Structure 1
Amino acid sequence: MDDFFADLLTQRGWESVKKKSDGVVARHPLNVGYASLLLRVFPSSKTLALEASIGAGNANWDRIASKINGDRKTKEFALRYDTLVKKVDGHEISSEHVLPFLDECLKHAAAIDIDAEIDKYSANRPDFPFIPQIFHLAALAYLGQDRIISGYLDAFRRGKNMNFVPAITEAFIARAYDLALTQKEEVVVIPKLKVGDVFRVPLSTGVAHIQYIGKGKLFNSVVLVGPRISDSVEVVSPELFKGAYFIHYHVDAAIRAGLLSRVGQLPAPLLPLRWRRPLGGAEVNWSVDDTSGREVHKSELTQEEIDLPVGISLNHAMLLTFIEHGWRPEKFIKSRLSAFESPPDEPLIPLPGAVS
């Protein structure tokens, strides 16, 4: 069963899939971090139950919490874990049970507001136990609130532990203080994304443009990719998006990394309600949203289904490859390479596990 789960998780785009004694663990990138999952089965006399512990976090949070905790390597400190359960009639679990449940888990994780969770931990100092107190210190450091941590440090030096558990020593507080000072210098305030925002994408061959359309149902932002490549800066106009296509892309992360420039606003099309998603195999098969929103697996597509947007998620390197090599969704039917006007030498094509 664990091998079965691992295969389905990989197919659905989950990463770092590992089998453990209590189930299968995996991670999935989100627009502002990652989803963390523990998936297992509980049998009973009449039914089986799928149970998932699902949480969310981000790399910077993990780094700060790990350093405060004194870990040599960064560990995962998901901010919140919730339990989801799906009962299965009978005594056999199939992909028809698991795949929708995985999508539900991912949707749940994407709805966790990481910033709000960090704010909660920063505002409330629990009297116990150890991990919530580490999270309180990490939240203060993450937000650059060095003054509060400095107060804790002064109290420790006067022999008062401020109701921290004995395992949290002055060294923990000092590490949190140093991290808060660093964070305070590095915090970058980014204007909130607005539907219709247009961004310039620098390429090795010129510039292209994408438009922010909104959040997908599961995770990640949906953007409209303008295929037009210019060798100079152009006025923002609908002409930039002739022949454009929808894709999932980490807009927030790209802005923070300085990979995009916001250059204007245009009226935005509506978010697509239906998608087609590539499945595994040498020859691509598809999971297609039917008109009721259910997923149907197909090896052959109708013309109407070919016209649906392709639900794959791109990192920045993939986005550049898609634009520079003329990727077209209507040509992505059987072969991954056939979708490129000029196939890249090392195609950065997403593995199965697309989203919407």
Structure 2
Amino acid sequence: MTKTELYNILTDNGWTIKKGIDDCAYKQLPDRQIQVIPGIKKLIDKYQIIMMPSVSTKDFSILVEYIHENKKPRTIVHSGIVRNNQQSIYTQNLTREVVENYLQEIEIWAQEQDIEAGLLKYSAIPFDTKGIYPLYHLSALAITGQTAKLKEYLQNFKQGDRMTFSNYIKQDYIERALETAEAHR
């Protein structure tokens, strides 16, 4: 099975492919969005179907983009709230049916995830975490309407205290998060 054939199976099952640095596929459900990063690897005696699934909401993903870029996204964005620990499966026979069954498992997993618990987890993580997580932290605070914490962060930033936030987090990020949180109250 080629990557093109894999992509065709995804699109036949309602997924949208986004080509880029890391090709992704998205499926929008009524209240959540699933993302996979599809791939196939031939091993010595079997195949590995790689998907790396995560689930989010369109609102959270757009908010992350807004806080970070101060603009509305022009393309599909996905900022994972919950990631699946099962990143891939292994099979002796790589068939359309095997891939479609795996996609069904991913969709069932995604529907079982507690989005609110994932957002609360992000809102509770330390603000001095590394990578994308400080941005997710601010976004989770905003979407859950936690204005008091954001006001505290903003006050500290205005006084020159960055509170050990990652260097890329700027005062305007917190301002946009607070603006959104106040709208979600």
Q: Please say whether Structure 1 and Structure 2 have the same fold, judged by a TM-score greater than 0.5.
A: yes
Paired AA for residue 83 in structure 2: Y
Match of 1:46 in 2: 45
2:3–2:40 contact (8 Å) kept in structure 1: no
Question: Is 1:111 the counterpart of 2:151 in the alignment?
Answer: no
Give the Å deviation of 1:96.
Answer: 2.2
Paired AA for residue 136 in structure 2: F
Structure 1's 18 and 158: CA in aligned 2 closer, same or farther, altered over 3 A?
Answer: closer
Structure 1's 143 and 85: CA in aligned 2 closer, same or farther, altered over 3 A?
Answer: same
Residues 110-189 of structure 1 correspond to what in structure 2 (within 5 A)?
Answer: 110-184=111-185
Give the Å deviation of 1:21.
Answer: 6.4
TM-score with structure 1 setting the length = 0.48
Q: Residues of 2 paired with 1:157 and 1:71: CA distance?
A: 19
Q: Residues of 2 paired with 1:135 and 1:11: CA distance?
A: 32
Match 1:88 to one of 87, 91, 94: 91
Structure 1's 163 and 17: CA in aligned 2 closer, same or farther, altered over 3 A?
Answer: same
1:65–1:134 contact (8 Å) kept in structure 2: yes
Q: Residues of 2 paired with 1:152 and 1:70: CA distance?
A: 19
Q: How many residues align structurally?
A: 180
**Greater radius of gyration (CA):** 1
Structure 1's 65 and 86: CA in aligned 2 closer, same or farther, altered over 3 A?
Answer: same
Return the structure number with greater strand share.
1
Q: Residues of 2 paired with 1:94 and 1:39: CA distance?
A: 15
Give the Å deviation of 1:55.
Answer: 0.8
Residues 154-303 of structure 1 correspond to what in structure 2 (within 5 A)?
Answer: 154-184=155-185
Structure 1 gaps, min length 5: 185-356
Structure 2 gaps, min length 5: none
Structure 1's 139 and 46: CA in aligned 2 closer, same or farther, altered over 3 A?
Answer: same
Paired AA for residue 131 in structure 2: F
Give the Å deviation of 1:109.
Answer: 1.6
Q: Residues of 2 paired with 1:165 and 1:21: CA distance?
A: 24
Match of 1:307 in 2: none
